[in-house]
Amino acid sequence: MVIKMKNIMCGISLLFKLFTAVCIVTVCNCSNRSKTVKQNMDYTLISINPQKAVNEMPASDFFSDIDYIPLESNDDHLIGQITQMLIYQDKIYILDLQQHTVFCFQKDGKFLFEINKKGTGPGEYVELDNISIDHDKNHLLLCNNSINKILVFDLNGNYIQTYKIDCNANVFTYIADGYSAFFGDFTANPKYEKEQNTPNLLITRLDEDVQKVQYTDLFFPSNINFGATVSPATCFSSYQSGTVTLLEAYNDTIYHLLSNKVERAYYIDFGDMKKGDGFYSLLYNPVTDSKKIFEYETNHNVCNIIGLSETSKNIFFVYYHNKTKFHFVFYDKSNKKIIDIVKVYSPETGFAFPVNNDINGGPFAMPYWTDENSFYGFVEPYELLTYKNAILQSNAKNKDELLKKLNNIVEDDNPVIVKMVPKIK
């Protein structure tokens, strides 16, 4: 059985749109030739052979438990779309970009508060781009990139202060020791250009002179034709306090950001299907258009990573090739076990997630967010209700508790959080 997904997460949903319309977004650093990245020789090599991918995986091959957390619902706090989720201490923080609102729930799903302060006054924002947690001060940080502000709240939603930032970014996250990272299109920040190279990663402190960037890493040539180049996705994934995982577009290297350095953490080797010098030469050409990029990807069948999440013990990432073949990879750091599952997408057939939940019979979810040990995703209430018979027939240890949850939700409720606990070797 495969799981029908209504919400395709982050980079995957973006990539699907690329097949029906040309989506022009920023290209990030595309090669491993950075001048300033610390050369960490201890990075882990993960070798992938796309030709050996399987078509489906039983959830029990990788996970020991799958739990569902219905989010309390009423007309005053209905979530439009889960864009980002942070799991910290005893709370779940959800960013809804449809409403530019942050919702906070207890880990059991009980509603606590929301932040919806649109405006230009103190403690207000025009729109939201990202949220992050300052785990050193226990603060919630809201990024409003369009007006270059970081708004600081305590963990209970009370406004504290606003920092003005001197850069534009697509993605923002807190790292540690007062340092934050800004990543994205820095063509609007020529002041940081060095030797005709522009940084797409800026790291600075918010609580000091925020007009001065402390250090930069991951440069790309500043003459790229950004208006014609298509980039799949860029994301941060914090799996433990003080370390942030960075996935950048068109790059098979995965980085770890620390407060004082950027280092290579993993290199994904796709063998004959990896991007070579010909791809990067084309990408760096200022007259390249998106059509040429798509043609190269198709003709050479190269792989692109478009989504990533990491825990202390495991990694999950998504890559695609040939425009329609999407791979979902689960990697165990301790025993180096790799499970690569492939699914073909088309507008006619739609998309089904290729994991069979043999643990409790319920729906599986894209494991896109993490705390230190577990993965998190979400399903719509109607999806969970659809699987009631499968849950009844399963051998789930917590079947009675799960059925009780089903009896307390309706189709129009808030999304249901799915917590997936990997096996610990």
* Residue 59: predicted pLDDT: 96
> Residue 228: what pLDDT?
43
CB atoms within 10 A of CB 190: 9
In the sheet that 215-221 helps form, which strands lie side by side, from edge to edge?
A: 171-176, 179-183, 197-205, 215-221
* Averaged pLDDT score across all residues of the chain: 82
Cα separations in angstroms, 246 against 172, 226, 263, 282: 11, 21, 10, 24
pLDDT tens digits for range 284-298: 777 777 788 888 888
> How does DSSP assign 250-294, residue by residue?
T--EEEEE-SS-EEEEEEEE-GGGS--HHHHHHHH-TT--HHHHH
Per-residue pLDDT, averaged over 200-212, amounts to: 72
Sign (positive or negative) of CA dihedral 107, 109, 110, 111: positive
Q: Is residue 27 scored above 50 in pLDDT?
A: no
If pLDDT is split at 50, 70 and 90, which confidence band does 10 have?
very low
The answer to whether the Cα torsion of 297, 24, 244, 42 is positive or negative is positive
Among candidate residues 336, 305, 341, 367, the one with its CA nearest the CA of residue 46? 336
Question: Which residues are paired to 149 by β-bridges?
Answer: 144, 164
Q: In this structure, what are the phi and psi dihedrals at residue 377, rounded to the nearest 5 degrees?
A: -145, -160
Least confident of 151-155, 230-234, 337-341, 404-408: 230-234
What percentage of the chain has pLDDT greater than the value 70? 81
Q: For each of the domains in the chain, give its residue range(s) and CATH number, in order of start.
A: 3-422 (2.120.10.30)
Residue 346's pLDDT band, with cuts at 50, 70 and 90, is confident
What integer pLDDT is reported at residue 225 of this predicted model? Answer: 55
Using the predicted structure, report yes or no on whether residue 45 has a pLDDT greater than 80.
yes
Question: What are the φ/ψ torsions at residue 137 (nearest 5 degrees)?
Answer: -110, 0
User: What pLDDT is stored for residue 165 in this prediction?
Assistant: 83
